[in-house]
Amino acid sequence: MVVGLGVDILDVDRMDAQLRGEDAGFLRSVFTPAEIAACDGHRHRTRRYAVCFAAKEAALKALAPDGDAGVGWPDIEVLAGPTPANALAFHRAAAAVAARRGVTGARLSVACTHRLALASVVLESHP
């Protein structure tokens, strides 16, 4: 059964501007060390970060549609895989919200062009 749905789209140029004007704390405040390593090691670094951010935003929308869950960006982790974003892991506050909502699985789908990054997250609960 579907218990949450979230979608996000991000302009890749916006992420590029953020990365070029990067203050020391931006990456660490939004992304996990594993996400940073995966994005920095990718030939399309900016696109990878944009997809990762869109996936986190879509997951947050699916977890807490009212936007008030106390979930921090690193509490939602995009796990690296053969595609730009393969799976999600929920930590700390995100894991607590997922447990309260009965989430037993998360499906992530992403698409990216040189201009736009799109992510869709479906949260499931199995009886």
Question: In the chain, what are the domain boundaries?
Answer: 2-124
Check residue 82 and give its pLDDT: 60
The contacts found for 63-68 with CB under 8 angstroms, 24 or more apart, are 63/4, 63/6, 63/90, 63/94, 63/97, 63/98, 63/101, 63/103, 63/123, 64/97, 65/4, 65/6
What confidence category does residue 5 fall into, taking pLDDT thresholds of 50, 70 and 90?
A: very high
What confidence category does residue 127 fall into, taking pLDDT thresholds of 50, 70 and 90?
A: confident
Check residue 63 and give its pLDDT: 95
- Which whole number is the average pLDDT over 50-74? 92
Asked if CATH classification 3.90.470.20 holds for the domain at 2-124, the reply, yes or no, is yes
What confidence category does residue 92 fall into, taking pLDDT thresholds of 50, 70 and 90?
A: very high
Q: What's the rounded Cα separation, in Å, for the pair 38 and 74? A: 15
Whole-model pTM: value is 0.93
Residue 22, pLDDT > 70, answer no
Check residue 69 and give its pLDDT: 77
Check residue 30 and give its pLDDT: 95
